Amino acid sequence: MPHKQEFSNRWGIILASLGMAIGAGNLWRFPRLAGQYGGTFIVLWILFLLIWSIPLLLAEFSIGKKFKSGVIGSYGKLAGEKLTWLGFFITVCTLGIAFYYSVVTAWSIEYLGIAISNLFQSLVSDFSLKETLEHNPGYLNQQWDQLSNKSITTVSLYVLIIIIGLIVVGKGIKNGLEKANKVLIPSLFILLAIVAVSALSMENGFKGLDYMFSVNMDHFKNPTVWIEALSQSAWSTGAGWGLMITISSYSRAKEDVTLNTFIGAFGNNTASLFAGMAILPAVFALASTESEAVSFLQSGSQALTFTIIPKLFSQIPGGGFMSVVFFLALTLAAFSSFLPMLQLLKSNLEQAGVSGKTMMISLFIVFTIFGFPSAYSLDFFSNQDWVWGIGLVISGLFIAFATAKYGAVRFKHEFIDGDSDFKVPDAYFKYSIIVNLFIGVILVYWWMSQGYSEHPWFTPSGAWNVLDTYSNATIVTQWGSVLLLGLIINKFLYRKFCKD
Amino acid sequence: MNAISVISMVINLSLVFGGFLYFLLLAIKKEKANSEK
């Protein structure tokens, strides 16, 4: 049964696609990579926006608009009965991300609370995070360890996030997702602009911009820069997640595909550039030396957002306020990306005939059970990030494959061009889809070979290394289980989700 | 900031932020035209 709800206008769907795309990756991963590899990275990141992200987003937008179904139903209707299980994989992959991504939202809120508390204490008492760090340099790491492992507060906040998310999506598309994004997205851009202006006004602030935009021709010869630019574009824009299929399945019948997709994609990249212009000047202004600034940027995972940013902002007058603004922006970004993930499962369940209270209870139970391990254990969180983060590229490949199988040019003429205010050239769409099939395979190989060197397929005793957080064995086992299950229940999936 | 970084910043911002504004204004224009029909 096609969805009956619709966004009220073009802006509703644009804000939803911006909310979906702009997340924690824009606010931390992008500035980190832009600082490390400079303008070279940015040039390649723009290139991959055009080659990988926009063609996939165009395909996803038009698939959702055409079939007005959840991801499984839409994919099955496009690719045919025998391939419905590929849509099942895309759905499970994005849900795998949703279950741990909601934990990022919970952490963001926790740190927003901490930033507010620090600011308040510094105003009413002698508390100073800077002095605390001078006495105990490991203070922020200890705080992070407490919150990310076996923390009842984190688990409680995680459950609260799910409840708030369910209240929003439970109100429907117009009164839920659309209204929430009207507040979340403009607020996010304003907050980023505040941090950027504040950071640029610091002494040495412009040195960060210098690093961010300087072009080093040698970096073009470094494959890592190419792969990082591609993966950043792929994950940041949400191309291949199936989330755009979900959002556009609620579009109006005559909705423009091309222009709306371009606004969403370029808007997402604008948010990334703003974030870079906010974070990098702050890093360079506050680090004691340039090498210290660079080492900050090269240090590891997204989780370090929570230890480095408070440290940076603790060094300056007014930093307590900026810390609050940054974590508020991070919370809004994370929450606006979490909502379409909830909507993705909701729309699939709707298609399976679940509705009303049963729907809400089912969503709550599923998210609570499957997200709990990531909220409770950082190792489990990291494993899921590793497995489903790379899985997204497979999802993107499946979407490119279905488009190529249908005939890229035929697909474009029938699905994309009809109501679009402007049209991209046929050759651009066709060759991008074909090139993406190769790019996707190379990207997966690169990621898995990265893990292979340190995390072998088998343990020293010869056992399948499935329990290692970062092994290829854990990836293949989890992907394989989902693909096998999808294959086994393929006929059921087609009957349940694809027949109106 | 050195000159190359400034030129790179102007080009990148023009492409990304400029592109975003261009498409946004185009959409506003289209919506206005549609509402006047």
- The per-residue DSSP string of A214-253 comes to ---GGGGG-HHHHHHHHHHHHHHHTTTSSHHHHHHTTS-T
Q: What percentage of chain A reaches a pLDDT higher than 90?
A: 38
Contacts of B24 in chain A (CB under 8 A): 263, 267
Q: What is the DSSP string of A45-57?
A: HHHHIIIIIHHHH
Report the distance separating Cα A379 and Cα A384, nearest Å: 9
Q: What pLDDT does residue A56 have?
A: 96
A40 CB-near residues (< 8 Å, 6+ apart): A215, A216, A217, A219, A220, A225
CA-to-CA separations, B9 to A43, A214, B13, in angstroms, rounded:
11, 8, 6
CB nearest to A259's CB, from B2, B4, B23: B23
Q: Name the band, by pLDDT with cuts 50, 70 and 90, for residue A257.
A: very high
pTM above 0.80, yes or no: yes
CB atoms A421 and B12 under 8 Å? no
- Interface size A-B, in CB pairs within 8 Å, comes to 69
Q: In the numeric block, which tokens belong to residue A193?
A: 């602009």
CB atoms B1 and A206 under 8 Å? yes
CB within 8 Å of chain A, chain B residues 1-37 = 1-2, 4-6, 8-9, 12-13, 15-17, 19-20, 23-24, 26-27, 30-31
CB atoms B5 and A213 under 8 Å? yes
Q: Name the band, by pLDDT with cuts 50, 70 and 90, for residue A163.
A: very high
CA-to-CA separations, B12 to A38, A144, A292, B9, B15, in angstroms, rounded:
12, 36, 26, 5, 5
Helix (H, G, I), strand (E, B) or coil at B18: helix
**Three-point CA angle A402, A75, A473, nearest 5°:** 80
Q: Considering only CA atoms, which of A298, A342, A472, A242 is closest in space to residue A290?
A: A298
Q: Name the band, by pLDDT with cuts 50, 70 and 90, for residue A140.
A: confident
CB atoms A266 and B20 under 8 Å? yes
CB nearest to A266's CB, from B12, B19, B30: B19
CA-to-CA separations, A181 to A20, A100, A176, A189, in angstroms, rounded:
9, 21, 9, 12
Mutate to test the interface with A, among B4, B5, B14, B30 (most CBs of A within 10 A): B5
Here the ipTM equals: 0.95
Residue A488: is its pLDDT beyond 90? Answer: yes
Helix (H, G, I), strand (E, B) or coil at A467: coil
Task: Kindly list the residues of chain A whose beta carbon comes within 8 Å of any beta carbon in chain B.
Answer: 9-10, 14, 39, 42-43, 46, 206-207, 209-210, 212-215, 256, 259-260, 262-263, 266-267, 269-270, 273, 421-422
CB of A83 closer than 8 Å to CB of A484: no
Q: What pLDDT does residue A354 have?
A: 87
Partners of residue A458 on adjacent β-strands: A464
CA-to-CA separations, A1 to A72, A262, A410, A446, A495, in angstroms, rounded:
13, 29, 25, 40, 12
CB nearest to A209's CB, from B5, B15, B26: B5
**pLDDT (tens digit per residue) in A429-466:** 999 999 999 988 888 888 777 655 578 888 889 899 88
CB atoms A273 and B8 under 8 Å? no
CB atoms B2 and A214 under 8 Å? yes
CB of A284 closer than 8 Å to CB of A199: no
Q: In the numeric block, which tokens belong to residue B30?
A: 């289209």
**pLDDT (tens digit per residue) in A27-58:** 878 888 888 888 999 999 999 999 999 999 99
Q: Give how far A146 is from chain B: nearest CA, Å.
A: 40
A125 CB-near residues (< 8 Å, 6+ apart): none
Residue A168: is its pLDDT beyond 80? Answer: yes
Q: Name the band, by pLDDT with cuts 50, 70 and 90, for residue A268.
A: very high
Residue A309: is its pLDDT beyond 80? Answer: no
Phi, psi of A98 (to 5 degrees): -60, -40
Instruction: Calculate the average pLDDT of chain A.
Output: 88
